[in-house]
Chain A
Amino acid sequence: MIQKENSKSVITPIRACCLESISIGDFIYISGFIYTGRDSVLPKIVSLIEDGKLEEYGINLEGAVIFHTAVSPAGVGPTSSNKYDIESTIPALSAAGVKLHLGKGELSKETIEALAKYNSIYAVIPPVTALLNRITLSKKIVAFPELGMEAFHLLEVQNYPAIIAIAHGKSIYDHEEQK
């Protein structure tokens, strides 16, 4: 993996104060345990939050990272975070403690505002499955195993590379604002 100079290390679980110094465009390297979920499972996780059943599954979202990916023998890689079933869960997951959503693609103004409201951020990761396989240390299913590759997984990762795309109400996709 090509390491960037002047990058920041992010260790999970993320403390709220760590986000204060992070800005859009920053390179980060994420290490620790991160959850994964995408179209099928994330709405189910939101339902668990609403029903107060997260603990029954041993899920703790305080300071968590959720990577929008499947987990399969093919590896991991970001899916489009702006798909309805994924983007619509970001406000509720942020309110429940998720500090970093990891995926790809532009998000709506409403989601940017929700991320700011709950002091959460969004980062993008290149679809570099062959490289990510080398720095994915372990993986296990946490909930909804019947969903196969779309089940809620927990990965242990070391130096996952990402770029901060949305933080503190600002989006890197607003190219006019960047000029």
Chain B
Amino acid sequence: MRNKNDIVDKVKECLIKAASTFSDDKKEVYRQAIERETVKTAKWVLETTLNNAMVAEQNRSPLCDDSGIPHLFLEIGPNQSVDGELFSFIKQGVAEGLRELPGRPMAIKGDDTQRIDQSGGLDFDPGALLSAPILLKPTEEDVLRLHMLMHGGGPEIRAKTFRIFHRHKVSVVTEEIIEWAVEASGKLGCSPVTLAIGIGRSHFEATSLMLEAMAFGNYTIQNEIEKEITNRLNKSNIGPLGLGGDTTALGTFLKVGPQRASGVRIVSMRPCCGIEPRKASVEL
């Protein structure tokens, strides 16, 4: 028997934490970047961004006025179950979290055409903002764990999901990702980025893996491919806010899924902005 109030409250708190808090590893990677940065403008941007995060955490207020679209990822252990009731509690928790934060009221009203051209107006209730479809994944750990990610609009403009012909070399894939990332980071305007990358067999799978990479990524645990991509991006001199500097990327979160017997890999890359990934998790 589920406790509705308990689940709704946990989801609400998880959303508020995701939208208002830097994780410990993110704070640390910022401190390291500030220490290393040699360009005064860049150093000031990094210091101010970290200072903003401290204030937002203290106030439980949004890190950024684009408080983001909630993206949920649910891990389901072997003895756990999910049903429509659970999803309705989660939905209510998201709405209550958005109202309490408060999130930016940016739900578009109207029918299909009105939602495309934005002619139906906005819903002024922050809680009217629906989450993206929930991603489900079995886990060996016997838990029901919800990950909350808040996706801002800027990175969505610059994200890309496309095919890469790998020619049986990892370097071919990483070189193309770096090419995408340099272009995206330069135009983003709110670097330093964290590159979230999923590599799969279809556009859906690659994007799902990208989301999973964001959920589990940690700046203190970086494999060789992740380090290589980050280091190469930092040589671009794009810097914080694109104004030049040593810190274009804080890290790379890569998730490689099952692959197809084929010469093609589908890659989804999201250049998360300087305050992203905004994430938190909770056991329900």
Contacts and interface: CB of A to CB of B under 8 A. Distances in A.
Contacts of A77: 64-66
Interface string B43-81: 011011101110110010111111100000000000000
Interface of A: 1-2, 4, 25, 27, 40, 69-70, 72-83, 103-106, 124, 126-131, 133-134, 146-150, 161, 163, 165, 172-173, 175, 178
Nearest to A40: B118
Given A105-B188, A175-B237, A129 B157 contact: no
Nearest to A7: B44
Nearest to B244: A175
A131 B154 CA distance: 20
A79 B154 contact: yes
A70 B103 CA distance: 12
Contacts of A70: 65-66, 104, 106
Contacts of B110: none
Contact of B61 (A127, A130, A150): A130
A106 B187 contact: yes
Contacts of A106: 186-187, 189, 242
Contacts of A124: 189, 241-243
A96 to B, nearest CB: 24
Given A75-B61, A79-B66, A126-B48, A178 B121 contact: no
Given A40-B118, A104-B241, A173-B242, 4 more contacts: A74-B65, A126-B48, A127-B65, A146-B121
